[in-house]
Structure 1
Amino acid sequence: MANSRYDVVVDVDQEGDLGHTDLQEDLEFHSSNFDNNTSSRNKIQPDTTSGFLPGPASSTPRSSQKHYLWSLSFYAQAFDVDTNEVLRRCQAAIYPRANFLDVLEGNPDLYGPVWIATTVVVILFLTGTISQYLAYNGKDHFSYNFKLLSGGAGLIYGYTALVPVGLWGTLKWFGSESANLLECVSLYGYSNLIWIPVALISWSNIPILNFVFVALGFAASAFFLLRNLYPILSATDKQTSKILLIVVVALHAGLAIAIKVLFFASGSPLSKDKPKDGGDDKKGDMVRMLFGI
């Protein structure tokens, strides 16, 4: 090995670096406009003439757009809720921990009130039929009484629609600025939710038990209404607000009495098989229908 010859001569500096290998000083990085050119070339501009956008009016906020009475959008805004939101509002109506108008967050709906009222009507018809069947004393074959269905629809739909409208008109008459028609209807609509469990447990042939259930339903729903209507009614003068509170409670008590008498009493005026007691005492008949005896 000592006599071997080498054909390659390598120059090694004192630091032991084999040649100049530091490439960082020779490399320079330049900014490229490749991405900018690509994005500008591939960017899709909105087509304002395609019909998917409302054109120049699209810059107007949705809440400030006008909805006319004869347009579908006027009624669609009252149903602008999803199932989760309706369930959340139903929970807030059953467990009223906060003001229900705050739960609505300025977006009252009619979707929940319509379906709640329809459910109450159907359940009242079914449980009212069961109640009449248990109190049935006739010899003929028992038949369904569809007067219960029409009576329940007229009672629940009429109360849920007419009373809020009347209350809103009265508040407007006395100069209240906080009254909103859709909020009043939504409030009364969700207050009907309590009548679903009441109707499900009030079909028995124990009159006093049915009376207690209906009374509890009235107390819970009346508390719900008064708690949420009081800030609105108090916007009027003191005497007017007291009168309106009394009227609200009296009308709601009338609804509870009508439900008890028409659906869960053996002497219901809608019953085909009325008990024959042979008496002409009007007050006695009313007491018997109210308490189901």
Structure 2
Amino acid sequence: MSNRGYDVVVDVDQEGDLGHTDLQEDLEFHSSNFDDPSSTSSTKIPPDSSTSFLPGPATSSSSNSNTKHYLWTLSFYAQAFDVDTAEVLRRCLAALYPRANFLDVLEGNPDLYGPIWIATTVVVILFLTGTISQYLAHSGKEHFAYDFRLLSGGAGLIYGYTAFVPVGLWAVLRWWFRVEGANLLEFVCLYGYADLVWVPVALVSWSPLSIFNLIFVALGFAASAFFLLRNLYPVLSATDVKTSKILLVVVLALHAGLAIAIKILFFAAGSPVGGPKDTPQEGVGGGDKGERVVRMMMRF
């Protein structure tokens, strides 16, 4: 039989039974409530948070970020060491080659891991190169003895400067001038990474040539001072113009004092106020007066 003119072809058996086609008994029809807005909220299935691998809602993360860390808890100090080696190296490179503001490089996550290790490295290298400088300046008349006071003096100088100067600057800005943008951890981190420039300076300043040592220390002072002033100026400018200039001069003067102390204490063989490193006799003038003054200050 031809199916011309038919849209559907149905096969039937010989008895003509089309099968069970009573749809009314098998299906139940219900009225649609898609247009009812209240029905969508009532039928919403909440997610199972115990088995979900997706991060929680924003409210949960915000509540964790607002958690208070008290001074006597380990979590208070752990947040200052939340960096890896790659991040510390990236920040060291940004400190040596400051192409952008260092506070922007920190991205709101200042650390103490880098500053502590940088300060320790500077102390050790200054002691080693200072000892080499003393040995080269030694006349050879007497047996050369290591001066381990350089190590204790260098530790007091570098650690003291890196810790107390940014704390004092932050205290003045926060409690005296009410600058809300001043952050203590950022200041300590900034000064800590600024010490990195003294590592290459110390490595090339051990020679007995006075003019070279003076040039190298001056270049180290200029580079680190530029790094500090460039990054501190946006914070210090929150005060009035006169006050910000005074604070910049104070920061520059303190950093110049650090450079002069490093030059006299470790590389005094080539210092303009220095002389030979031989121990002066009692009652005889001579010797390095500047070095003795700095060493006496380091004892306290």
- Tell me the TM-score range normalised by the shorter chain: 0.7 to 0.9
Deviation at 1:142, TM superposition (A): 1.3
Supply the distance in 2 between the matched residues of 1:80 and 1:131 (Cα, whole angstroms): 38
Supply the distance in 1 between the matched residues of 2:258 and 2:249 (Cα, whole angstroms): 14
Supply the distance in 2 between the matched residues of 1:221 and 1:142 (Cα, whole angstroms): 34
Is 1:198 the counterpart of 2:201 in the alignment? yes
Which residue of structure 2 lines up, in the alignment, with residue 97 of structure 1? 99
Q: State which drifts further: 129-138 or 181-190.
A: 129-138
Supply the distance in 1 between the matched residues of 2:244 and 2:165 (Cα, whole angstroms): 16
3-state SS in 1 of match to 2:71: coil
Supply the distance in 1 between the matched residues of 2:64 and 2:98 (Cα, whole angstroms): 31
Asked if the contact 1:202/1:214 (under 8 Å) is kept, the reply is yes
Which residue of structure 1 lines up, in the alignment, with residue 215 of structure 2? 212
Q: Structure 2 length as normaliser, TM-score?
A: 0.72
3-state SS in 2 of match to 1:163: helix
Which residue of structure 2 lines up, in the alignment, with residue 40 of structure 1? none
Asked if the contact 1:138/1:273 (under 8 Å) is kept, the reply is no
Is 1:148 the counterpart of 2:150 in the alignment? yes
Asked if the contact 2:217/2:263 (under 8 Å) is kept, the reply is yes
Is 1:252 the counterpart of 2:252 in the alignment? no
Supply the distance in 2 between the matched residues of 1:108 and 1:132 (Cα, whole angstroms): 38
Which residue of structure 2 lines up, in the alignment, with residue 125 of structure 1? 127
- 1:213-260 Cα offsets, whole Å, 9 max, x none, are 000000000000000000000101111111100000000000000000
Asked if the contact 1:109/1:186 (under 8 Å) is kept, the reply is yes
* Aligned with 2:64 (options 37, 62, 65): 62
**Root mean square deviation, CA, Å:** 3.1
Identify if the C-alpha distance between structure 1 residues 256 and 109 changes in structure 2 by more than 3 Å, giving closer, same or farther. Answer: same
Number of equivalent positions: 238
Supply the distance in 2 between the matched residues of 1:213 and 1:229 (Cα, whole angstroms): 24
Is 1:170 the counterpart of 2:175 in the alignment? no
3-state SS in 2 of match to 1:143: coil
Identify if the C-alpha distance between structure 1 residues 256 and 44 changes in structure 2 by more than 3 Å, giving closer, same or farther. Answer: closer
Q: Structure 1 length as normaliser, TM-score?
A: 0.74
Which residue of structure 2 lines up, in the alignment, with residue 51 of structure 1? none
Percent identical: 72
Which residue of structure 1 lines up, in the alignment, with residue 117 of structure 2? 115
Q: Where in structure 2 are the equivalents of 1:263-278 lying within 5 Å?
A: 263-266=266-269, 273-274=278-279
Which residue of structure 2 lines up, in the alignment, with residue 243 of structure 1? 246
Which residue of structure 1 lines up, in the alignment, with residue 183 of structure 2? 180
- 1:150-198 Cα offsets, whole Å, 9 max, x none, are 0000000000000000000111111111100000000000000100000
Supply the distance in 1 between the matched residues of 2:289 and 2:277 (Cα, whole angstroms): 16
Supply the distance in 2 between the matched residues of 1:272 and 1:146 (Cα, whole angstroms): 15
3-state SS in 1 of match to 2:116: helix
Asked if the contact 1:145/1:272 (under 8 Å) is kept, the reply is no
Which residue of structure 1 lines up, in the alignment, with residue 230 of structure 2? 227
